[in-house]
Amino acid sequence: MTNNLVIVESPTKSKTIEKMLGKNYTVRASMGHLRDLPKSTFGVDVDNDFAPKYINIRGKGDLIKELKGLAKKADKVYLATDPDREGEAISWHLAYILGIDPESKCRIEFNEITPTAVKDALKHPKGINLHKVDAQQARRIIDRIVGYKLSPLLWRKICKGLSAGRVQSVTVKIIADRDKEIAEFEPQEYWTLAAKLREATHPDAIHKTHLPPLFEAEVVKYQGKKLEIHNVEEAKAMEEALGRAEFIVGEAAQKERRRNAPAPFTTSSLQQEANKKLNFSTKKTMMLAQQLYEGVTVGKAPVGLITYMRTDSVRFADTARDEMRQYITEHLGPEYCPTKPNSFVTKKNAQDAHEAIRPTSIQRTPAELEPYLSRDQLRLYELIWKRALASQMTPAVYEVTTMLINAGDYQLRTSGALVKFAGYLNLYGKYTETEKEKEVPFLPAGTALSLYKLLPAEQHFTEPPAHYTEATLVKELEEKGIGRPSTYAPIIQTVISRGYIAKEGKKLSVTDLGEMTVEMLTTYFKDLIDIPFSAELEEELDEIAENKLQKEEILHKFYEPFAQNLEVADKEIEAVEIPVQVTDIPCEKCGRMMVIRKGRFGEFLACPGFPECRNTKPILKKIGVKCPLCGGDVIERKTKTRRVFYGCNHYPECSFTSWDKPTEEKCPLCGHYMLEHLDRNGKVKLYCSNEACANGKPVKKTTKKVTTATLTSEVSEALAVAAELTVKEAAAQSTTKATIKKATTKKTTAGKATKKMTAAKTKKTTSTTTKKTTRTTKAATKKAAEPKTTRKVSKESEA
């Protein structure tokens, strides 16, 4: 019987493939790399053309021994690692360990883990692509040079535990530059002006039902130039001028506009879309995609549900594309399937080795797979399934009406769009930011219009660019050509865990440590964190993989100026002393006051007597709020998955916990404490902790619009609101006082006579307080409700 050995990377993949191939095949996992550069030493001979010194990774000795034994017994060994440069390098190391000629037909690749794809790959083995291996080695050696030469400099000059990386340093700089731009931004005031119009009707038209429809138009030009309103005075002057103007349609157009289907997912676009639509981090997206790729048991047989998820390609195999077109025709209708298959342009620096991300079979719908997948797996699979199918559907068609309206020296613009045919939006509309439908009547040029209402001019301020999120950062890195999409998730995770970047909600911002590091690198290693330089280096690595450049040439070009800059920086940079923060918490073992240290998982308390005293403990981060149950301190805690929640420091005696941050602010309606809810976009919303209260759920706060109309009545409205709040606060205060009085009445251990006296006294006090509060509330209500007083205040405010 023939005995074949197939070596893949992960154990999940090995189990899936072994069940597909049957008894003649043994499938084992290498668990990633088996050889690498040593951790304890530099491992690169810079004087000998950067020759790397590879060693077997510690802890993998038993696995290597097992694979060697299986390889000796096998008639044929197939190396089936992932179809990318990293996978090619792993196969090359495996060939070295197992004594296989790398140029022999030992390498197989498949883009999807299905019986057809795997068996077809076994029929077409090939040699290891040594040019891809060289490209991976060049990247690994450059990263080793930066990490092992630059990181110690950061340790000496800033603080221990820091790390420097070629791509991660550029990533931190990009975020730091955006934060600086936001901090330096100065908002500029501007105003907008709009009017509600309709076609002018004949004076004899009496019935309102016969009146033409209203539509809104915005003022866009003044005397042929772009409209600019800088203050309220200019806005009022323009309102007066437009109130006297005659409105006539100057230009009108009505045409169809097509919105083409989106391209299928690449690694980068999948990370962006999953972050925006599903709120998944890049790390979580890639983890779930790996699970879907490696295989899930559906029914009795395991099968890979999506194709390889590390890809830059936007093309499909012909068979997969034809299957999608057939599915669209049969299940959605022939009108949704274009005459010719949709094709998309691959980006300039993309590695087009294999397909875009798609389901291995479009027939496996999300509904059918729901019993076999976790909630998050299903959500990601549905996103991939719908995106792949939508990419092969017809465009959405809109009917767009646009009119330019003349009004004296002013010109107004209005436009509307109506969906004539949904096209791909019929399937993918849930995940697409579609334009809102707005109906505008088409009126030919020269049509007279009547002014129904001139809307008050509205005040605005220009806004700074938004903080980066993981989605927008991935997009920026890809557009600038920095790193590879497959490395974005670990890079973002590294800069956050190292303390260079802080993540609050979705917002990413640079820390003081990150700013300090970027400033030093910008001064002495400008090329290293220069975006064009990093992008050029990525292109050169691509050229090595295509056998257009030699890796030694690129390594010499990089190392020589880097070594010179390193020498200069070591002499010129003065060490920055980061003061140790001493706490008032004594060490239980030696009595010294503990200090705050930073480790791999964040800050912690440590004894300053290290190494004599090695006492450490976690930091109890107080938020300055007392526990509503027992009066203890509310502290910030973290779950095993690092999710933040809040609890009492008297736990487990006190069971108070909350996902949202408690505050000292009291609800104006019921007096309960308020909670802070951090929205996905980073905005904070306050709501009442009392579920029965009207403020009990997070309500989206809308910014009050400032217009010329609101400015004139602002004072009177504010006074009216204040009067109303006074009544509510008085009622809430009385309820709160009564509740506190009742809750604080305690039993004592005194005799029966003392108990009776205390009870009587409490009852009398409560009764008196209730009566006083009732009288106060009635008086406040009566006073606020008096029409004469209200009119008098309004006149005074207007004056």
Catalytic residue positions?
308
- Collapsed DSSP state (helix, strand, coil) of residue 26: strand
Sign of the dihedral defined by the CA atoms of residues 170, 176, 180, 182, in that order: positive
Q: Where are the beta strands (DSSP E) in 169-211?
A: 189-199
* 305 close to 381: Cβ distance less than 8 angstroms: yes
Token pair, residue 282, equals: 């890049």
* 455 close to 189: Cβ distance less than 8 angstroms: no
Residues 553 and 557: their CA atoms lie apart, in Å, by: 6
* 794 close to 786: Cβ distance less than 8 angstroms: no
Residue 40's contacts (CB-CB under 8 Å, 6 or more residues apart) are: none
Q: Crossing angle, helix 708-743 and helix 787-798, to 10 degrees?
A: 130
Task: Identify the CA nearest to 172 among candidates 519, 465, 471.
Answer: 519
Enclosing H/E stretch for 234: helix 232-243
624-652 in b/e burial notation, b at 16+ Cβ within 10 A?
A: ebebbeeebebbebeeeeeeeebbbbeee
Burial of 231 (0-12, 13-18, 19+ CB in 10 A): exposed
Phi, psi of 379 (to 5 degrees): -65, -40
Cα end-to-end distance, the chain, whole Å: 103
Residue 69's contacts (CB-CB under 8 Å, 6 or more residues apart) are: none
Distances 615 to 618, 619, 649 between C-alpha atoms, Å: 11, 13, 21
Residues 646 and 736: their CA atoms lie apart, in Å, by: 25
| Biggest alpha carbon–alpha carbon distance for the chain | 105
- Collapsed DSSP state (helix, strand, coil) of residue 661: strand
* 134 close to 141: Cβ distance less than 8 angstroms: no
The three-point CA angle 180-186-189 to 5° equals 150
Enclosing H/E stretch for 5: strand 4-8
Distances 789 to 101, 715, 717, 777, 796 between C-alpha atoms, Å: 98, 15, 14, 17, 11
Token pair, residue 652, equals: 């487990």
